[in-house]
Structure 1
Amino acid sequence: MDHVASSTPDARSVPVCYRHPDRESGVRCTRCERPICPECMVSASVGFQCPECVHGGGPAHPDTPAGAGAGRSMAAARPRTLAGGTMTADPRLFTKVLIGVNIALFLVQQAVGDSFTVRFAMIGQYPGVQGVADGQFYRLLTAMFLHGGITHLLFNMLSLWWIGGPLEAALGRARYLSLYFVSGLAGSALTYAVAPHTLSLGASGAIFGLFGATGVLMRRLNYNMRPLFALLVINLIITFTPGFNIAWEAHVGGLVAGVVTGYAMVHAPRRNRALVQYGTCALVLVAVAVLTLVRTTQLT
């Protein structure tokens, strides 16, 4: 008797291509999330899409109800990213904006001098300088956009372009920005909690958060994660090597927040996707606020 593969979930543990039911596949279309085989994969900015979605005929959302109103149908028909965000003409726009802001503020640092850097860098408590412990909580945010030199800036911006662009395309702009800022603030908060008497600055905390979320995304898409792990290990070795004078707290804090938030972004159930995604961001921010307030109470 010839064996005929079934596409029903209960019949087999491995999904099969929806266009070729006799072919198993662990890859899904990044738009409609239906399993597709290598023959059906069409390379996209992030991952692969099925032929129907590439040509505009695929389902925009698996849960779109039949008979929905015209306005609702038009909204549902908009192309969506893997995480549920709206696909845009320039999927790297906000990554470009973030890079531009970092470069612009670095130029301001060079023009104004150390007074500008000391005014907005991450300082918890230091003799003669008011810091976070004195109520200047904005430093948790502003420190993310300052850098200690041209090498520091270039390394971070290259990492942001390489990691941030594809991740923005996969998540969508709003989710990507939420991840970036949540990770950066988590890195600043851990730095404040562990080393409140040192000055720290840089986008590394946010970028390590993007690293963590990228790892979650690559695992979700069944990509080879060894290159990412190798790069991450190299960065962590540099982070903890004496003499580099790197705030490891920002890197670790951003990485943990990025993994947690990224997991929610990529694996949130479709029915309550936005609630789970942004709810997780809110919970991480609550943890940041609690950590900051507890440390402030200890220092004052």
Structure 2
Amino acid sequence: MQNLTQAIKHLIIINVIMFVAPMLLNMDLTNLFALHFPKNQHFGIWQYVTHMFMHGGFYHILFNMYALWAFGSPLEHMWGRNKFLFFYFSAGIGAGVIYTLVNYYQFNGIYDQLINLGVSAADIQNVLDTGSYNESIITLPNETMREFYSLYHTPAVGASGAIYGILVAFAMQFPNAKLALIFFPVPIAAKYFIPIMIAADLFFGVTKYSVGNIAHFAHIGGAVIGFLIAWYWRKNQFTFR
């Protein structure tokens, strides 16, 4: 078993506190710390960091913290605390930025369709504020309008973007390590297993076949940033502790 390294220990502690404390104090920190759409009134630039310490449920934080320990520990042992923390926050923040850019692109696409239908900016904002609209004027499919409303209102939470960065770096450093899922208990080398996971996220993100409210493009964003940093460090032998 991997020892609990210092950076990972403190990250887990902070995540657990941020998950448990609001429940014990009967507080909702979502509007303050979750990552909101930039045009939403609750958006704050600090949320690109704080959303990494917010989770939507027990299994969400359990799986993320397990992956942080299981796959992050070998990387912290190899890189050292400072380098690992730089990597972790870079992947997590990068994931949030890429997730926002994808959402912004999708939101603006629907917004432009509404403008082309002759809907005023004020009426569009009213749709976003109330969730209701006149179907005789706004003739877009209901599914499209639900997506439009959701993009504006649904915040992102969780360390999954940073975790995907860790998974990619782990696969690059330990390509032949055998991994398996509970529902697919067949060991597969990390160099195959991790790309399959990322490809699945890309498929579900593009096709909208996702089950549940999963930020697939945050996963992909974290994976991309993690790959770029790990590749650069390995190529240039960049080290600091």
- Given the two structures, how large is their TM-score scaled by the length of structure 1? 0.53
Larger radius of gyration: 1
1:146 maps to 2:54? yes
* Partners of 2:75 and 2:37 in 1: CA distance: 32
Q: What amino acid is the match of 1:109?
A: P
Deviation, structure 1 residue 101: 0.9
Shift of 1:227: 2.6
TM-score by length of 2: 0.65
Distance 2:234 2:17 in 1: 32
Q: 1:156, 1:201 → 2: CA distance? A: 12
Query: What letter corresponds to residue 252 of structure 1 in structure 2?
Result: I
Aligned-residue CA RMSD (Å): 2.6
User: What does residue 65 of structure 2 align with?
Assistant: 157
Higher relative CO (CA 8 A, sep ≥ 6), structure 1 or 2? Answer: 2
**Superposition pairs for residues 188-203 of structure 1, below 5 Å?**
188-196=96-104, 197=152, 198-203=154-159
Q: Which residue of 2 aligns with 1:217?
A: 173
Q: Is the 8 A contact 2:37 2:100 kept in 1?
A: yes
Residue in 2 aligned with 1:170? 78
Partner of 1:118: 31
Query: How far did residue 212 of structure 1 move?
Result: 1.2
Residue 27 of structure 1 corresponds to: none
Higher helix proportion = 2
Which of these residues, 92, 97, 101, is aligned with residue 10 of structure 2?
97
Q: Which residue of 2 aligns with 1:130?
A: 42
Q: Kindly state the Cα deviation for residue 191 of structure 1 after the two structures are TM-superposed.
A: 1.4
Task: Indicate the SS of the match to 2:189.
Answer: helix
Structure 2: state its 5+ residue gaps: 105-151, 179-187
User: Counterpart amino acid of 2:92?
Assistant: G
Note the C-alpha offset of 1:233.
2.3
Summarize the alignment of residues 18-57 of structure 1 with structure 2, pairs less than 5 Å apart.
none
Structure 2 CA distance for partners of 1:202 and 1:113, relative to 1, 3 Å = farther
Q: CA deviation at 1:188?
A: 0.5
Instruction: Provide the identity percentage.
Output: 29
Q: Which residue pairs with 2:222 in the alignment?
A: 254
User: In structure 2, what is the Cα distance between the partners aligned to 1:234 and 1:193?
Assistant: 22
Question: Does structure 1 residue 265 correspond to structure 2 residue 219?
Answer: no
